[in-house]
């Protein structure tokens, strides 16, 4: 049974930081591209950051310089360090694994509010 379980979301003030975690099980983690996506109310889901099995990374322009994606293949974990958070970063954040198949986590809410 494949599971992607996100954690680490919550409320945060503008300028603050959060670290999201995604625990993957049931897949050969090292063979999967892992990504963080987000969906704000009334908007379509978008890619925030991705990391390949070779540790190549890519970021949405809106988060470059503020967010960092990383993976720990020994622990089957992928992380998203989010700094200098803005109101517009408020969304549900999803972990996604793309490889032989395509899997999504259930999402974790990030709310940036003063």
Q: How confident is the model at residue 24 (pLDDT cuts 50, 70, 90)?
A: very high
Which tens digit of pLDDT belongs to each residue from 78-101?
A: 999 999 999 999 999 999 999 999
Cα separation, 37 vs 94, whole angstroms: 5
Cα separation, 50 vs 53, whole angstroms: 10
Cα separation, 72 vs 91, whole angstroms: 25
Q: How confident is the model at residue 112 (pLDDT cuts 50, 70, 90)?
A: very high
Which tens digit of pLDDT belongs to each residue from 37-77?
A: 999 999 999 999 999 999 999 999 999 999 999 999 999 99
Using a 10 angstrom Cβ sphere, with 0-12 exposed, 13-18 middle and 19 or more buried, the burial of residue 20 is buried
Cα separation, 70 vs 64, whole angstroms: 14
CB 46 within 8 A of CB 37: yes
């Amino acid at each position: 049974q494949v599971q992607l379980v996100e954690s680490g979301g919550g409320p945060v003030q503008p300028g603050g930081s959060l670290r999201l975690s995604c625990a993957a099980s049931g897949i050969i983690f090292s063979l999967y591209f892992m990504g963080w996506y987000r969906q704000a109310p009334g908007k379509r889901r978008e890619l925030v950051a991705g990391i390949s099995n070779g540790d190549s990374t890519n970021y949405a322009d809106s988060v470059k310089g503020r967010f960092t994606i990383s993976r720990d293949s020994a622990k089957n974990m992928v992380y998203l360090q989010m700094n200098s958070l803005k109101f517009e970063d408020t969304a549900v954040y999803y972990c996604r694994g793309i490889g032989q198949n395509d899997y999504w986590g259930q999402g974790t809410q990030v709310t940036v509010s003063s």
